[in-house]
Amino acid sequence: MSQSQVTQATHLPVAAGQVGRLTQSLMAMVLGLFIVGVVGFSHIDVIHNAAHDVRHSNAFPCH
């Protein structure tokens, strides 16, 4: 009983570190997709016009 508690205690920080890395990596990926989404896919005219040549050059669907 007490041994299993000790095992849990020693493993917890490692598990928390792994979850932290996973969460941080996923946050970065979501941020990246958001940036690409706004630059490449926003329907707002001003953003479309500013990024026009990039959208065509990246073969993102454009007007």
**Contacts with 55 (C-beta within 8 Å, 6 or more apart), sequence order:** 40, 48, 61, 62
For other proteins, the closer of residues 6 and 46 by Cβ is 46
- Does residue number 10 form part of the binding site for other proteins (CB under 8 A)? no
- Does residue number 13 form part of the binding site for other proteins (CB under 8 A)? no
- Does residue number 16 form part of the binding site for other proteins (CB under 8 A)? no
Q: Token digits for 36?
A: 């690409």
Rounded to an integer, what distance in angstroms lies between the CA atom of residue 62 and that of residue 40? 9
For other proteins, the closer of residues 4 and 41 by Cβ is 41
Q: How many CB atoms lie within 10 A of CB 51?
A: 19
Binding interface with other proteins (CB under 8 A): 18, 20-22, 24-29, 31-36, 39-41, 43, 45-46, 48-54, 56-63
